[in-house]
Amino acid sequence: MCGIIGIVERNAAAPAAADTVVARMLRTLSHRGPDEEGCVSLPGVALGMRRLAIVDIAGGQQPFANENGTVHVVANGEIYNFPELKEELIARGHRFRSRSDVEVLVHAYEEYGEEFLTRLRGMFALALWDGRNRTFMAARDRAGEKPLYYAETAAGLLLGSEIKALLAHGGLSREMDLEALDQFLTYEYIIAPRTIFSTVRKLPAAHYLLYREGELSIHRYWDAAAVQVREWEEAEAVEALRATFGTAVRRQMMADVPLGVFLSGGVDSSAVAVCMRDGADGRRVSSFSMGFADGSYDERAYAREIAELCGTHHVEGSVEPDIAGLFDRLVVHLDEPFSDVSMFPTYLVSQMAREHVKVVLTGDGGDELFGGYDAYEAQALATRWAGLAPDVAVRAADRLLEFVPPTGRKKGMINKVRRFVSGLAGGPPAIAQYRWMTFLSAEAKGRLYSPRLQDALVSADVYRPARDALSRVSAQHDLLNRQLYADLSVYLADDILVKVDRMSMATSLETRAPFLDADVMELAFSMPGRLKIKGGTRKYILKKALEGMVPPAILARPKEGFSIPMKTWLRRELTPLMERLLAPARIRAGGLLEAREVARLIGEHRAGRANHAHVLFSLMVFERWREEFAGILI
């Protein structure tokens, strides 16, 4: 696990970047790699990395080069099938100097060219320089577990694991991308390739870029949409999933340091934990859980049950509402607006785990592959209701429900009904489940956005990424698989994996997600939706595969999600922070939002008449981000 940077001059004869510039960029990534630093500077190009030593601790220093020094590589992540690749490459005459998984990249590229990416099983972001044809190449793993940002400038190309590394180079404009801001306020995150900065772009998952003679091109090398669906017999699917997932977990336990698992007590993390127990080979695995004083948010009792079953060294912590200082630290650390509130418990459980281990496995990806979210059932219900309830009736019901106060519980029937109806009323049908995964309707934006912002967005289409992802899958896939593909491409890649990567790496902890193993993803997308949600049971085939391994009570539990009681905290402990960041004078000075509407949202929320936590927290994040990066101080 590392943080990487790259600098490529448009002029191939230009001298290498100054050591001070490389060092300044790398310094911003020291949290990603606290163990050591490495770089190579050549005419027209520089590569650098900060390393978190996991595999071949003594001999895995980067950058790596081929035998004659014409190809160099730096990488962030792990290549789980490197032993097989290494054996194959040695048979073809390549010589290795280490036991590092990263070294296989330079030789695999040398042997197979750009096609080497399709042979990799791992999570990675890599940067490679081929001096033979003066080509720069960078790539991300299939699911997007590891980040990679780039910026084209008049002088050339900049690359980094985080935006802060690019900003540290100097000279980049900090102009805001207002369409990215609209995405953030709609979804709570920004969708690749956009970032909040108009000069910086994010390389999408499963893509690589080439930069040669000043020309940049972007290419996709893998797509779950291309997987052929087959007619599985249920028993055959169960056995295939059990074997493939078990292999993925064992493969991802590759490490020369202690291992752990994030354990919520839900289906996905329990699946990882029991497979780790079976593949531990005598190693003691640690497990880590985070809970809350509010019982409707606390799942630690279920996590303890799995920890006891698996014999892990179990460690627990609790998220407290006094997170104002943590808010400030994390919002700034993220470089661009991001308001998934589960970043707080993710950071805290990572911080706790880092005291014991360097690597943890997670259950991320299970919901997006096997149908775990409420939104899938909401869309199925909406499809059945289509035509039965006219739009005017839905909007009327939505207005009536505004007078029903939300409950303080995490979910509850009242909250579910309000959310379902508001999604029907406020979201276009063409975005399917994203009607319940967005947080500002067009009507709400008309009240909240200033004329300046509305004018800037007149030709924008904030729902296009969701629609495109839903339509990219071929007709052989059913509706559920199209929805799962969209969430794999958008929600998982740009929300969940961003949160997990940034929060874990902020504590210098590596996370790995066995569900996102290439073989597991391809197996999942070869299965029809009827095996994933069946008879009202979500993740049906996964639960069948876990029978006899995970207790029935855990398999039968409804999904809870890793969230926090933000709606309650904004009415109490976080009120002073909210009022400072969303003060009317500050909002008016920004010129993008309507201060009167912001004040109305605050008033209704504090009075308990409505739950505006998603919108208010997003506005708080944006204002704190702008204070740090755009210099708005009131």
CA–CA distance, 197 with 336 (Å, rounded to integer):
8
- Collect all residues with Cβ–Cβ distance below 8 Å to 68 and sequence separation of at least 6: none
Question: 530: buried, middle or exposed (CB in 10 Å: 19+, 13-18, 0-12)?
Answer: middle
CA–CA distance, 570 with 566 (Å, rounded to integer):
6
The yes-or-no answer on residue 39 being catalytic is: no
Q: Are 260 and 359 in contact (CB under 8 A)?
A: yes
Helix (H) or strand (E) holding 210: strand 207-212
Q: Tokens 């190579």 correspond to what residue?
A: 40
259-262 vs 286-292, strand pairing mode: parallel
Question: 206: buried, middle or exposed (CB in 10 Å: 19+, 13-18, 0-12)?
Answer: buried
The span from the first CA to the last CA of the chain, in angstroms, equals: 40
CA distances from 550 to 244, 246, 521, 544 (A): 17, 14, 21, 10
149-152 vs 201-202, strand pairing mode: antiparallel
Token pair of 585 as six digits? 């004078």
Helix (H) or strand (E) holding 581: helix 575-581
**DSSP strand E in 473-603: where?**
510-512, 533-534, 537-538
Residue 327 CB coordination number (10 Å): 18
Closest CA to 9 of 140, 141, 156, 171: 156
- Collect all residues with Cβ–Cβ distance below 8 Å to 111 and sequence separation of at least 6: 89, 92, 94
CA–CA distance, 544 with 633 (Å, rounded to integer):
55
Closest CA to 563 of 411, 418, 375: 411
User: In the β-sheet with 313-319, what is the strand arrangement from edge to edge?
Assistant: 313-319, 286-292, 259-262, 359-361, 510-512
Question: Which of the residues 2, 39, 275, 310 is marked catalytic?
Answer: 2
- Collect all residues with Cβ–Cβ distance below 8 Å to 508 and sequence separation of at least 6: 31, 32, 33, 34, 52, 354, 358
Q: Are 10 and 155 in contact (CB under 8 A)?
A: yes
Q: Which residues are catalytic?
A: 2
